[in-house]
Amino acid sequence: MAIANKNIIFVAGLGGIGLDTSREIVKSGPKNLVILDRIENPTAIAELKALNPKVTVTFYPYDVTVPVAETTKLLKTIFAKLKTVDLLINGAGILDDHQIERTIAVNFTGTVNTTTAIMEFWDKRKGGPGGVIANICSVTGFNAIYQVPVYSASKAAALSFTNSLARLAPITGVTAYSINPGITRTPLVHKFNSWLDVEPRVGELLLEHPTQTTLECAQNFVKAIEANQNGAIWQLDLGRLISVEWTKHWDS
Q: How far apart are CA 116 and CA 194, in angstroms?
A: 31
What per-residue confidence (pLDDT) applies to 68? Answer: 98
Q: How far apart are CA 94 and CA 153, in angstroms?
A: 13
158-194 pLDDT per residue, tens: 999 999 999 999 999 999 999 999 988 876 565 789 9
Spell out the alpha helix ranges (H) of the chain.
Answer: 16-27, 42-51, 68-82, 100-104, 110-122, 149-167, 169-172, 187-190, 202-206, 214-227
Integer angstrom CA distances of residue 109 from 16, 62, 90, 175, 248: 21, 14, 11, 19, 24
CA-nearest of 151, 161, 139, 160 to 238 is: 139
Q: What's the mean pLDDT when you consider all of the chain?
A: 94
Q: Is 47 exposed, middle or buried (0-12, 13-18, 19+ CB in 10 A)?
A: middle
- pLDDT, mean of residues 72-100: 97
% residues pLDDT > 90 (the chain) = 87
Catalytic residues: 151
121-134 pLDDT per residue, tens: 999 999 999 999 99
What per-residue confidence (pLDDT) applies to 249? Answer: 55
Cβ neighbors of 238 (< 8 A, separation 6 or more) are 182, 210, 211, 212, 216
Q: Identify the structural domains of the chain with CATH numbers, from first to last.
A: 5-242 (3.40.50.720)
Global pTM? 0.95
Please count the CA atoms within 13 angstroms of the CA of 232 that sit on its side-chain side: 21
Q: How far apart are CA 144 and CA 239, in angstroms?
A: 20
Integer angstrom CA distances of residue 76 from 176, 208, 242: 21, 45, 36
CA-nearest of 170, 167, 143 to 248 is: 167
pLDDT band at 252 (very low <50, low <70, confident <90, very high): very low
Amino acid at 10: F
Cβ neighbors of 11 (< 8 A, separation 6 or more) are 36, 37, 62, 64, 88, 89, 90, 91, 92, 110, 114
In this structure, what are the phi and psi dihedrals at residue 32, rounded to the nearest 5 degrees?
A: -135, 135
* Distance separating the N- and C-terminal Cα atoms of the chain: 30
- pLDDT, mean of residues 149-162: 98
